[in-house]
């Protein structure tokens, strides 16, 4: 098989890239190790930055999102049992976020690409990248995990294969730098069959730690609490989970949280990670393959899309006029945005979580930070601008 761009991974990075390249008349194939059902069934992100919403529409993918997604003008921050509304639209000249689950975005991207003749091969095994040092790169793979060996010959390989994929590892260790922070807490996430308890997302920092109230649909809510990343989910009974949500989301104004059956629960660790550079020879890495943010800033998916927007522009320019300097600057250009998203995600995470390793002084600093957002216009604007999505520079 011969295409211009071979993409590994059918997550947000790989699928948005396939759409953007198709728009520019560049041929591509997407190789994905999981089945279509698994990809479409994995519950992850929920928040789209304003420009991602516009991009979905430009790509002709906005119809269901506009019908079923929920536009939010702001978020609620809560500490000391009191709530503070952050008017994101008012603070950013009218920009809003969209709550539309990642797996719904993926369903739309997959259905649309397949309906228009795009090739996405699910369930591949043995993905191996080679030849990125020279000018004839290729990806070897096996259909259905163990079928006969096949090869995608291409001009460029894109590793959009998430944190554990082979993309980043194909950059020689001596040529990459890795920057990492592992947090001493994780998130316990649940999906609940219940109506909404509040009209916008609530991020709280209470005595027992962080909690986040988010949503998926009018009948299904997504909620998280800070926990020990080494906890066994079996030790978190539904009763214990609800006790913690009530303790952390409770206020003194008579509001009450609506409970419902918990239909899914799981624990994820929190980490920050950046790989520099994001390119080696004819290999480009994008999204979680290159960087991880803790989910407190809702940046991971959005950052993955930002990478491939930059990459598609650089590829299109290179194919159009042979101008390759944009491709050479891909990494440098992306990393400027990446580090700002890392900073914001780290800021939100440290400000909103209880960290037993910190001194009382440091813990007080986080409440001062929160109160600064409440009382300082500049601080509120900064949080809002970052949350809704920074402009591309
Ligand atoms: P993905 O989504 O991990 O996709 C990579 C794909 O590559 C495949 N793959 C391979 N395919 C072929 N051969 C191989 N050898 C392969 N190895 C791997 C994998 O099967 C997979 O399908 O990476 P991508 O595209 O970079 O997208 C990143 C986002 O998925 C991620 O950053 C977000 O989900 C993070 N995130 C959030 N981001 C937001 O922007 N807003 C949010 O509100 C938000 N909330 C979250 C989140 C992540 C969470 N978790 C579970 C970590 C909430 C949570 C709880
Ligand atoms: C989600 O709805 O899953 C979600 C929302 C906001 C975040 C993280 C996750 O910051």
pLDDT digits (tens, 9 = 90+) for 194-253: 999 999 999 999 988 999 999 999 999 999 999 999 999 999 999 999 999 999 999 998
Give the pLDDT of residue 145: 86
**Ligand 1 neighbour 101 (Cβ under 6 A):** no
Cα Rg, the chain, nearest whole Å = 21
Catalytic residue, from 100, 203, 280, 330: name it: 203
Q: Quick one: 5-71+97-179+271-355 is in which CATH superfamily?
A: FAD/NAD(P)-binding domain (3.50.50.60)
**Ligand 1 neighbour 108 (Cβ under 6 A):** no
CA dihedral 76, 77, 80, 83 (to 10 degrees): -20
Q: pLDDT tens digits for 96-137?
A: 999 999 999 999 999 999 999 999 999 999 999 999 999 999
Percent of the chain with pLDDT over 70: 100
Q: pLDDT tens digits for 158-182?
A: 999 999 999 999 999 999 999 999 9
Give the pLDDT of residue 321: 87
Q: Which ligand is nearest to the CA of 102?
A: 1
Task: Give φ, ψ of 320 to 5 degrees.
Answer: -70, -50
What's the gap in Å between 4 CA and the centre of ligand 2?
35
What's the gap in Å between 153 CA and the centre of ligand 2?
38
Give the full edge-to-edge strand order of the sheet including 220-227.
82-86, 75-79, 202-206, 209-215, 220-227, 177-193, 262-276, 291-292
**Ligand 1 neighbour 288 (Cβ under 6 A):** yes
Active site residue 195: no
Take atom 7 of ligand 2 and give the residue whose Cα is closest.
Answer: 298
Best CA proximity match to 336, nearest among 379, 374, 367, 303: 303
Q: Which ligand is nearest to the CA of 129?
A: 1
Look at residue 322 and tell me whether its pLDDT is greater than 80.
no
Active site residue 280: no
pTM: 0.97
Active site residue 299: yes
Give the pLDDT of residue 22: 98
pLDDT band at 393 (very low <50, low <70, confident <90, very high): confident
Give the pLDDT of residue 244: 97
Give the pLDDT of residue 207: 87
Contacts of 54 (CB under 8 A, 6+ apart): none
Ligand 1 mutation target, pool 36, 127, 301, 306, most atoms within 8 A of CB: 301
């Amino acid at each position: 098989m011969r295409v211009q761009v071979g993409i590994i991974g059918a997550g947000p990075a790989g699928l948005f890239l396939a759409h953007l390249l198709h728009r520019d008349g560049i041929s591509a194939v997407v190789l994905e190790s999981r089945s279509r059902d698994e990809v479409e069934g994995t519950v992850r992100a929920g928040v789209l930055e304003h420009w991602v919403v516009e991009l979905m529409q430009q790509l002709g993918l906005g119809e269901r999102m506009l019908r079923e997604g929920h536009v939010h003008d702001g978020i609620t921050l809560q500490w000391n049992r009191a709530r503070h509304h952050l008017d994101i639209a008012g603070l950013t000249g009218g920009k809003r976020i969209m709550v539309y689950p990642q797996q719904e975005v993926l369903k739309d991207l997959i259905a649309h690409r397949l309906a228009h003749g795009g090739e996405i091969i699910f369930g591949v095994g043995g993905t191996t990248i080679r030849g990125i040092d020279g000018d004839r790169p290729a990806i070897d793979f096996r259909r259905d995990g163990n079928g006969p060996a096949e090869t995608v010959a291409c001009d460029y390989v894109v590793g959009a294969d998430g944190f554990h994929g082979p993309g980043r590892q194909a950059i020689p260790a001596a040529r990459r730098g890795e920057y990492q922070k592992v947090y001493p807490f994780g998130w316990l996430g649940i999906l609940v069959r219940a109506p909404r308890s509040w009209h916008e997302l609530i991020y709280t920092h209470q005595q027992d730690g962080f909690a986040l109230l988010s949503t998926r649909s009018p009948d299904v809510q997504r909620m998280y609490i800070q926990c020990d990343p080494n906890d066994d989910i079996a030790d978190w009974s539904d009763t214990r989970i609800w006790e913690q949500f009530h303790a952390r989301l409770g206020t003194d104004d008579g509001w009450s949280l609506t409970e419902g059956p918990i239909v899914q629960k799981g624990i994820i660790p929190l980490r920050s990670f950046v790989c520099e550079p994001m390119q080696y020879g004819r290999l480009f890495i994008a999204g979680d393959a290159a960087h991880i943010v803790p989910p407190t800033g809702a940046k991971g998916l959005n950052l993955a899309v930002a990478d491939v927007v930059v990459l598609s522009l650089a590829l299109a320019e290179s194919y159009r006029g042979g101008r390759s300097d944009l491709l050479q600057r891909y990494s440098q250009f992306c990393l400027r945005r990446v580090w700002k998203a890392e900073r914001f995600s780290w800021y939100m995470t440290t400000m909103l979580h209880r960290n037993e390793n910190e001194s009382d002084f440091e813990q007080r600093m986080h409440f001062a930070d929160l109160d600064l957002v409440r009382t300082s216009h500049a601080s509120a604007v900064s949080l809002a601008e970052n949350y809704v999505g920074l402009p591309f520079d």
